[in-house]
Chain A
Amino acid sequence: MSIALVGYYEPWWIQILKAIVIFAIALQLVPVVLIVERKLLGRFQARYGPNRVGPYGALQPMADILKLLTKEQFRPSTSVGLLFALAPLISILTAVAAFALIPFGDVQDIFGTKVGLYGIDVSIGPLYLFAFGAVAFYGIMLGGWSSGSKYSFLGAMRGAAQLISYEVSQGLALLGVIFTAQTLSLTGIVHAQAGMWYIVPQFVGFLIFLVAGFAETNRAPFDLTEADAELVGGYNTEYGGGRFASYYFAEYLNVLVVSGIVTTVFLGGWLLPFGIHPPGWVDPLVVLFKMSLITFLFIWVRATLPRLRYDQLMSFGWKVLLPLATLNALATAILVVATH
């Protein structure tokens, strides 16, 4: 990789170990989010969620995954085979790659080796994030197009338009933070929040980023890509079995990624308020707790808001979020220049 890495002083074997650990963590977190979402959605609708498989239904995602994996790999005769198989892989790949960016703690001294509790700490953090966010759109677009089905294609087209519109606002919302922190490294941004978390001075940016994050992950109320009522299932209509599971996995991993980025950028990452400095091993727990709060918000919003109409989605993205994000970035820039 030719990109400059900050903190790139770890031996190669630690890098490989970290890659495996991060993938394993992602693999473990997704079923947890899955069952928590279904349970919470149930509670929001005054019912129990799944509660038949295992204690309190905790093994429900295992049953779901097992069911999906044992199903036949079905492919429509009109589909383009290679791309049809490749598209879910792209979705998973980009989600995991973005997950590697989330810092779960500072550089720790583990058995005499200095290990940063993050996959990589690139000096172009948000750029890396948006790069993979943009590639993620290929997963949806290729999947929808190569299915050879009109519903899949419509869903994919919507997804493409939605991703492009909201990524702009998301990037602009992040600009305010970057101006204030004067760094593009995500660990650097966390360190810059030692005095005050950016949710306070950048509250508008936080809201914009969160809303755009809902749209980026194709979650309610912006789940027009899979609008079940009109598009059957959107871009993944023709998918089944393991490939559908991949899409599902990527969707929930994306929720975790957005939660992680919000935690890192606006909620002070592993920092605790009131000057509490716990030992290093607490850091990942702090990050996970903050991430779970944001994930809870994701589920809460999904249980509350109805799906937007397509023109509402577009006009909201371009006429409300984008000007607001631009104003926010401009105001922050002026303030930063004025105070320095």
Chain B
Amino acid sequence: MADPAETSPPGPQASSAVKVARWDPGEDVVEVQRSPAPGAMRSAWRAFRETARGLKTTFGRIAEGPVTIEYPEDKVPVYPRFRGRHKLHRFEDTGAAGSDPAHAGLEKCVGCSLCAAACPADCIRVVAAENTPENRVSPGERYAAVYEINLSRCIFCGYCEVACPFDAITMGHDYELSSYDRSDLIFTKEMLLAEPLERAPLRNEGE
């Protein structure tokens, strides 16, 4: 395998000794060994040693064991700030300071359409309607009569959650959103308000 013609790679020392009009790569170029080192025994030994080293490397993978996460059974835990499927929120009677028991159960969304305005993918559709004393849906003047997110267009950037003045919409942790039909990916207000399945486990602190 050792070809003596190939064993002297062009380098700075070669060009300085012989006056050949050859491009000098300079000193910062790492020389690549393109052929076995001269000497049959040495190159044979080198090939054998390198092969053995490669075999050792692959055998080490057996010792380490697989790193596979068998997906449908085991799921990769998500980080707390993971941006999955959106959630719409209702007021809860938490009893904490600032929580108004009169608001409990009402939707946080007031139908302002700021999320739709912020959405770069233009996938949110909000149609607002006036609250009436008989039909009070949100604590504000208006509420979202229609709130749809087309998840086949959504890019999960999270701008809607940033734009929302009432924290009515947040990004959840669900990422299993496959569907056999595109129309199934248009999530309505009822679907977004419903308690999500939370199939993805949450990553613990420091994990």
Please name 25 pairs of A and B residues whose Cβ atoms are closer than 8 Å in the assembled complex, sorted by A.
A40-B62, A42-B66, A43-B62, A43-B66, A44-B59, A44-B62, A45-B61, A46-B61, A46-B64, A46-B65, A46-B67, A46-B68, A47-B68, A48-B68, A51-B70, A300-B55, A300-B59, A301-B55, A303-B58, A304-B51, A304-B58, A305-B54, A312-B1, A316-B1, A319-B1
Interface residues of A, Cβ cutoff 8 Å to B: 40, 42-48, 51, 300-301, 303-305, 312, 315-316, 319-320
B57 part of interface (Cβ distance < 8 Å): yes
B155 part of interface (Cβ distance < 8 Å): no
* Partner pick for B67 among A47, A51, A315, A316, CB 8 A cutoff: A47
> Is A320's CB under 8 angstroms from B62's CB?
no
State whether A305 and B51 are in contact (beta carbons under 8 Å apart), knowing that A46-B67, A320-B1 are contacts in the complex.
yes
Q: List 9 tightest A-B contacts by C-beta distance, closest first.
A: A304-B58, A304-B54, A46-B61, A44-B58, A47-B68, A43-B62, A47-B66, A303-B58, A48-B66
Beyond the given pairs A43-B65, A315-B1, 20 more chain A to chain B contacts, judged by CB atoms under 8 angstroms and listed by A's residue number, are: A40-B62, A43-B62, A44-B62, A46-B61, A46-B64, A46-B66, A46-B68, A47-B66, A47-B67, A47-B68, A48-B66, A300-B58, A300-B59, A303-B58, A304-B57, A304-B58, A312-B1, A316-B1, A320-B1, A320-B44
Q: In residues 43-61 of chain B, which contact A (Cβ within 8 Å)?
A: 44, 51, 54-55, 57-59, 61
A319 to B1 CA separation, bound complex (whole angstroms): 7
> Is A48's CB under 8 angstroms from B70's CB?
yes
A230 to B54 CA separation, bound complex (whole angstroms): 24
Distance in angstroms from A313 CB to nearest chain B CB is 11
Total number of A-B contacts with CB less than 8 angstroms? 42
Residues of B within 8 Å of A40, CB to CB, are 62
Distance in angstroms from A30 CB to nearest chain B CB is 23
Interface residue total, chain B, C-beta cutoff 8 A: 16
Chain A residue with Cβ nearest B40: A320
Residues of A within 8 Å of B44, CB to CB, are 320
A45 to B61 CA separation, bound complex (whole angstroms): 6
Residues of B within 8 Å of A300, CB to CB, are 55, 58-59
Interface centre among A40, A45, A304, A320 (most CB of B within 10 A): A304
Chain B residue with Cβ nearest A301: B55
> Is A304's CB under 8 angstroms from B55's CB?
yes
Residues of A within 8 Å of B62, CB to CB, are 40, 43-44
State whether A44 and B1 are in contact (beta carbons under 8 Å apart), knowing that A304-B55, A305-B54, A320-B44 are contacts in the complex.
no
Q: In residues 71-115 of chain B, which contact A (Cβ within 8 Å)?
A: none
Residues of A within 8 Å of B65, CB to CB, are 43, 46
Residues of B within 8 Å of A44, CB to CB, are 58-59, 61-62
Residues of A within 8 Å of B70, CB to CB, are 48, 51
Residues of B within 8 Å of A320, CB to CB, are 1, 44
A60 to B87 CA separation, bound complex (whole angstroms): 42
Chain A residue with Cβ nearest B52: A304
A305 to B58 CA separation, bound complex (whole angstroms): 10
Interface centre among B58, B65, B66 (most CB of A within 10 A): B58
A326 to B44 CA separation, bound complex (whole angstroms): 16
A237 to B67 CA separation, bound complex (whole angstroms): 33
Distance in angstroms from B74 CB to nearest chain A CB is 12
Residues of B within 8 Å of A305, CB to CB, are 51, 54
Residues of B within 8 Å of A43, CB to CB, are 61-62, 65-66
Distance in angstroms from A315 CB to nearest chain B CB is 5
A51 to B73 CA separation, bound complex (whole angstroms): 13
A303 to B66 CA separation, bound complex (whole angstroms): 15
A284 to B206 CA separation, bound complex (whole angstroms): 55
A312 to B43 CA separation, bound complex (whole angstroms): 14
A42 to B67 CA separation, bound complex (whole angstroms): 11
A40 to B62 CA separation, bound complex (whole angstroms): 8
Chain A residue with Cβ nearest B68: A47
Residues of A within 8 Å of B54, CB to CB, are 304-305
Distance in angstroms from B77 CB to nearest chain A CB is 20
Q: In residues 28-51 of chain B, which contact A (Cβ within 8 Å)?
A: 44, 51
A312 to B58 CA separation, bound complex (whole angstroms): 23
